[in-house]
Homo-oligomer: A and B are copies of this chain.
Amino acid sequence: MHPTTLVIGGCRSGKSRHALEMAHAAPARRKLFVATCEPADGEMDERVRRHQQERGPSWHTVEAPLELAAAILQAATAHDVAVVDCLTLWLSNLLLAHPKDPAAIDSRVEALCDVLAAPPCPLLLVTNEVGSGIVPENALARRYRDLVGQTNQRVAAACRQVVWMVAGIAVPIKTAPLG
């Protein structure tokens, strides 16, 4: 079975860079980058441009702000490795698209876990830890924080490897069983 890896860490902990380096290190000719963000404002635009520049031209990029599982399944068969960056923005998009329909969000998370159970190619997923600060005063922020934490747990359980990033350093916290 293809390996699946979750890369989790705080903001600016080097998660994306580490996932890209892992993908580069693999003998992968055709590399897929699945971006979950919709470039919506100036701050995000600039970040997206910078990230594309850092990746270089050897990557094929698709955007999947909402239907992530379908996008991976459709594009990944033509690629040797795929990086999904990142689950936190995807969950933010889902929460904005379905503010009163938790089941709609849940079914998409379930679909992603199904993909991870039978991955079409090696998959590297990037996500943020957002729950280690003070409880936010804003109710939506609390709901988002719960959703991200619960999803991170489900995805980590479905992945064979999990890496915890601190200051650019990759700490393996779940390793694939041998064989």
Contacts and interface: CB of A to CB of B under 8 A. Distances in A.
Contacts of A77: none
B134 A144 contact: yes
Contacts of A150: 12
A13 B168 contact: no
Task: Give the most central of A134, A145, A156, A168: most B CB within 10 Å.
Answer: A134
A129 B12 contact: no
Nearest to A14: B153
Nearest to A147: B12
Contact of A149 (B13, B148, B169, B174): B13
A132 interface: yes
B167 A8 contact: yes
A164 B91 CA distance: 24
B132 A153 contact: no
A136 interface: yes
A132 B10 contact: yes
Nearest to A170: B173
A10 B10 CA distance: 11
Contact of A173 (B145, B149, B169): B169
Interface in A143-170: 144-146, 148-150, 152-157, 162, 164, 166-169
B173 A166 contact: yes
Given A11-B131, A11-B146, A13-B131, A153 B168 contact: yes
A133 interface: yes
Interface in A3-56: 6, 8-14, 43
30 contacts: A6-B167, A8-B167, A10-B129, A10-B130, A10-B131, A10-B132, A10-B149, A11-B131, A11-B132, A11-B135, A11-B145, A11-B146, A12-B131, A12-B145, A12-B149, A12-B150, A12-B152, A129-B132, A130-B132, A130-B133, A130-B135, A132-B132, A133-B133, A134-B136, A134-B145, A149-B167, A153-B168, A166-B173, A169-B174, A171-B173
